[in-house]
Structure 1
């Protein structure tokens, strides 16, 4: 996969002409362009100036106070003139000094003495009129913004306002001077507000990003400095020593190996089985990777279109059949990521998410639709379901893209999707026998082969122990139907029943089903000896099956179908003789049943023998017998090492009763016909 993530090396120089259209392999922020865009946005924000309305009121108050002060001085000196005989010049000088004393030093200095004297020589009524006219004009002019550059124009404006009043010439000139003096700048630069606006403008600028798949330079386009900088930014110039893709791939592989280690480490099976599972997974995974790589070498009309023909479900189906669903789900997830990397030709970046989704859906669909039993018909049916899911997934992806495709393109994609599902089923059916043979797994075909009546061991049972053969066939019918009822492997149970008593062929006459027209040899043996002969049929059967290299599952059924049950007949016989023995001495050596199939074979074996000894049992008797046998084994802890449930045991009892009722159904008793002589005419 490294070749699929290895950065492309481009031999590009500044101010050269691009020989091909180059797209960005990643999405990355262009910080230089972002900074330029932010600077431009900041420069577009003008300085913020605010209108200080308090200045207008302050200037009006100042002018009003000047007029009021003049009126106060006039009123005060009007009283002094009556009491003191001062000359006119002295009176004017004193009034002026008194007037300036009421004003601030700055105002007294800025206003001319002639204007002040004019105010002092004017009657208070006229001063009131002049004051009101001045305040009105000042308020009118200063209600608008007056920047520093417009102060003189504002002064002229207030002067024009006062020039056309009805005041006397002297008072008018004084009023104009006061009006011009009152007009000052009332609009000022606000640095804080300006800074905030510029910050807002900068923050509103979205980062300039070079998007994955975006064209950086067109074919035959000149590579200028800005384009060259972008190529360098996305890593298309200096990628000879880039270790990031390799590191990313290494991390992914590490995660994948860790997940597999965790799964197999917590798998509750024998080490031998665990190693077999690991080898099976490794082979299936490597086969899938090789197949994926081979398919990626054949591009079609559109980029990565060939990926849809990849049989994504074959590995999942094989692993579910050979191991279990969990490893199949883990395999599918890993293959989805591998596929998105291997089929990334023609897409920007290292991952093709469309292919990943396609492989995920295809693999999960096969896991859902495929049953545990590897019947070819079920595998093929699961492949057809996967084909339908593949088509639906492709259509959903195409519709989400909102792209326009021709009928021919749709037809090609649908054909590839259908081929993927069917090919997955065909490859599963074709590869399954190799895995079963290579790892010694028990397959359906192997079971069918072992169930052939012409098999040497079956013919051995038929010829040497015909009663045992008939018993095995009856037990097989019971066990298969019971297994099918609870979802266990009925075919395995049937074949296991065929051979479960193969050990009886060593001494067939010691078993009651084979004692036809002969004396029972146990009548002349001690109970302990009879016990050994009966129990040895398990050991003898296991040795015989191992000698003929039978599958382990069949050997386990033969070895475990009696579990550690008590050989009750001979135990009670020895107890009646007065010999002191323990119950453990008359129990089968085991082990107990460890699978559902073995447990059901053991139940069916006991049930068939017990019912056959009853002659013509009624349905009620059959049901009572079946449930008593199951209850007895349950109380004896014969199912303690098996994962069969109480509910499943109840279903087994119902199925066995139904099957036995069909075998031992009532028959019509025909009356005997008496012979009669025929009279001839």
Structure 2
């Protein structure tokens, strides 16, 4: 049993939607099985303080939070404490010096004769809640100051304050105060201050010395915070060696292995969850596309099966390429036929699904070709597959004459430029030999894609019952046995078929239908006329019309039989079902008017249904267009020197007649599209002014050419 028969048998048990869901479910399972080994975390059975039996590398890039925190603390401790110079302290200490000398003058003024009271007054003034100068300045020093004259005190104050100011401006820290006090005492001793006052001046100056550079807690904390923020996160890089083979696994190494999820007792399931999400998104997009696709249900199901099969085959090729060990010759990986799926689906289905599958395959390729680092993505390979596949679609889409080998050559050129761009962009240190291999194998990839596409197309078409563009082009060749038979035995019908093919193709393309299918179908649509060629006016020439000697019922049967005869011949020659449908449906259930009215003259009670084609009515847009074009071409051919206005009137009349007769009720062609079809047919026919032989007595449509 072939695949097509098996699909038909399955569809007899389940609906197309259920079958599609089953296909996607199986596709999800197979994708998971094929990709799981490339994303699952690789874990090891390792004990602390054991010797590693292999070199273990990190499979991902991850931030080491513990190390980062340690680095931040270290950076904070390295920041020195912040000290700031306080100029107001200098001013305050100078004011203090001035005040002490002023108190001496005040004591002398208040108690001019009583030195004891003067001394008591000074001690009281030198002592308050904030200051107690008496601890440093003794009675002897105070007494010496009380004996000085006012001018001497003023001069002494000025010199002492100057020394204090000079010392305090040197930015004194707390630990430098003792040294500063000693220095200022020495300065007083060596100054011009009289000897009898030096002890008092030294005591006051020493007392005035305090730290002028003080610790700033807020500034220190701010600087330490900035230092911590400037610390770059410590990362364990992808591919970084965690432990070398034969080295001891210490606590730090064990901690890193645990952090990376490389220990069997603590595996990470996040990559697996990520893979499941990826598969779900891919299948949702594919299902959404096919669900809303305008294709017929039968063709849609075949497209789902074919797309899934091609995708899985390409994925299996990736898996095979990965299983082959190219570690010593890794450039060979780029010979993978990256454009194979894109080219197959472009030819067999359409460009949209080819692009979707190419994008999904590029994502899968970045997982499969991850250089044995599970859980990582090879973005370079993903881009290579993406560009190669898109190039395959581009060079095949919209082409009426498909040349797979030419498309493969163009894909090869794109592959070469893409691989050079990728390798040069990352500034890889590659040798000329390596660049040569990259170029050679990427070029081979495109050719291999084309060759495999050509080799697989016939088998896929036969298995899935698909009709590709290449098959249509092959069927359009005049060397085909049936077309050769049509040309040699019924040249008039052959010419008519070619004319209808031209008209149908132009009209189909104008409404976005399959013009190539319409053209090739028209070549074969009247093949049944080869059974009785002389009964059709285009083959009679100057000979008489045999219908003149036959009853209308017999003539009707001969005319209608060309449809059933044609279907039988096409099936015998195993032509695709789409071509058979054209022959079977191109008349729909229209009435053979001429012979019906002839019969009605003889028998008014004749049934109209007996003079109708058996049908079915056109089921697709292409068949609706062929139905119109066939009648229009025959009608115009029967006119003498038709004008543009006459052609437009005739086309409008035929289309209106078909609509009123319900011939388009089973296909999805719209009134807007019919308007476009009429306009296109009129434009095409306006250039045809050949003189035609008019069938005797015909008013509307050529009687013997109900085609």
Normalized against structure 1, the TM-score is what?
0.81
Distance (Å, rounded) in 2 between the aligned partners of 1:267 and 1:210? 47
Mapped to 2, the partners of 1:391 and 1:474 lie a distance apart of: 47
Structure 1 residue 24: Cα displacement: 1.3
Q: Is the 8 A contact 1:607 1:625 kept in 2?
A: no
Which residue number in structure 1 is paired with residue 38 of structure 2? Answer: 4
2:83 pairs with one of 49, 53, 58: 49
Please tell me whether the aligned partners of residues 531 and 567 of structure 1 are also in contact (alpha carbons under 8 angstroms): no
Specify which of 136, 139, 152 is matched with residue 162 of structure 2. 136
Distance, in Å, in 1 between the alignment partners of 2:539 and 2:690 is 25
Instruction: Sort the Cα spacing of 1:77 and 1:448 in 2 relative to 1 into closer, same or farther, 3 A.
Output: closer
Q: Give yes or no for the alignment of 1:157 onto 2:183.
A: yes
Whether 1:381 aligns to 2:415 is: no
2:428 is the alignment partner of 1:394: no
1:237 aligned onto 2:263: yes
Match of 1:601 among 614, 623, 626: 626
1:230-249 deviations in Å (ceiling 9; x for gaps) = 33332333368554443333
Aligned residue number for residue 669 of structure 2: 642
Deviates more, 1:486-495 or 1:425-434: 486-495
* Separation (CA, whole Å) in 1 of partners of 2:602 and 2:627: 29
Q: For structure 1, which segment, 346-355 or 502-511, has the greater mean C-alpha deviation from structure 2 after superposition?
A: 502-511
Change in 2 beyond 3 A, CA 1:46/1:406: closer
1:406 maps to 2:431:
yes
Q: Name the counterpart of 1:439.
A: 464
The counterpart of 1:551, out of the listed 576, 588, 601, is 576
CA distance in 1, matches of 2:192, 2:482: 144
Match of 1:206 in 2: 232
Partners of 2:391 and 2:414 within 8 A in 1: yes
Alpha carbons of structure 1 residues 304 and 239: separation in structure 2 relative to 1, 3 Å = farther
1:75 aligns with 2:109: yes
1:474 aligns with 2:495: yes
Aligned partners of 2:689, 2:328: CA distance in 1, in Å? Answer: 65
Q: Which residue of 2 aligns with 1:177?
A: 203
Q: State the partner residue of 1:272.
A: 298
Of residues 416-425 and 400-409 in structure 1, the stretch that sits farther from structure 2 once superposed is: 400-409
Distance 1:642 1:20, change over 3 A: same
Q: What displacement does 1:169 show?
A: 3.4
Q: 1:302 to 1:624 in 2, by over 3 A?
A: farther
Give the aligned partner of residue 35 of structure 1.
69
Residues 394, 206 of structure 1: alpha-carbon distance in 2 compared, 3 angstrom cutoff: same
Which TM-score applies when normalising by structure 2?
0.78
C-alpha separation in 2, matches of 1:177 and 1:240: 74
The structure with the largest alpha-carbon Rg is 1
Partner of residue 92, structure 2: 58
Which deviations, in whole Å up to 9, do the C-alpha atoms of 1:401-445 show, x marking residues without a partner?
212333332232222222211111111111111122222233554
The answer to whether the 8 Å contact 2:497/2:524 transfers is no
**Residue range with higher mean Cα deviation, 241-250 or 278-287:** 241-250
Gaps of 5+ in 1: 79-87, 665-681
SS at match of 1:122: coil
**Partner Cα distance (2:295, 2:133) in 1:** 109
Q: How many residues align?
A: 640
Residue 702 of structure 2 aligns with which residue?
A: none
Q: Equivalents in 1 of 2:37, 2:591: separation in Å?
A: 67
Whole-Å Cα distance in 2 between the matches of residues 185 and 518 of structure 1? 132
Give the Å deviation of 1:350: 3.2
Distance in 1 between residues matched to 2:327 and 2:95, nearest whole Å: 87
Match of 1:344 among 364, 370, 376: 370
Mapped contact 1:541–1:558 kept (Cα < 8 A):
no
Shift of 1:387: 0.9
**Structure 1 residues 240-639: aligned runs within 5 Å:** 242-300=268-326, 302=328, 304-346=330-372, 349-371=375-397, 378-443=403-468, 444-445=470-471, 448=474, 469-482=490-503, 492-501=517-526, 512=537, 516-518=543-545, 520-521=547-548, 536=560, 540=564, 544=568, 548=572, 551-562=576-587, 597-614=622-639, 617=641, 621=642, 623-633=644-654
Partners of 1:183 and 1:496 in 2: CA distance? 112
